[in-house]
Structure 1
């Protein structure tokens, strides 16, 4: 077992990924051959991600607040603390914030 203390500060989410104020706390980036990465993402009121895809899919666990998510062409779904949302491989999706702040833990598999 290896315990790693994060030395990376919170960063502002890049404008080419997000609309509005979003802050990212890196949680885990496992060394190769693992491809798993996780961050705690904080959405301020009204902030959201742009439409995007994850080649290996994504699992999102809301840690606080209530948000919205949608697959392209699908209905808007409400997400809240508790159940995880699994986004299938290569599915275009966008999570969006409610009027209140929201935080979530997205877990993704990276492609080499």
Structure 2
């Protein structure tokens, strides 16, 4: 497998440290660079996390507006999104228009049944 290049992650507000780490660690281990757009509502937590990132590690915080996020999708090699179905449709359509590899985790708290 070859690294994809630069992967943009658009992250939700809940579990801001965990969401970034569960995306970034595998992506970095696969040889990719990572740009993370944290949710604006958790900016201080995200800034604190990014301040701990060693210099030279290809992981950056990307503080982007909506329009800049769409441009970032065009300028990166792949996109990951965790959040609502509505926003996921918009971002996936834009990524598809520009033929970007995309991973989506949409929806929220869906019930399920566990059987023996």
For normalisation by structure 1, the TM-score amounts to 0.27
**Greater share of strand residues, 1 or 2?**
1
**Greater share of helix residues, 1 or 2?**
2
Who wins on radius of gyration, i.e. which is larger?
2
For normalisation by structure 2, the TM-score amounts to 0.26
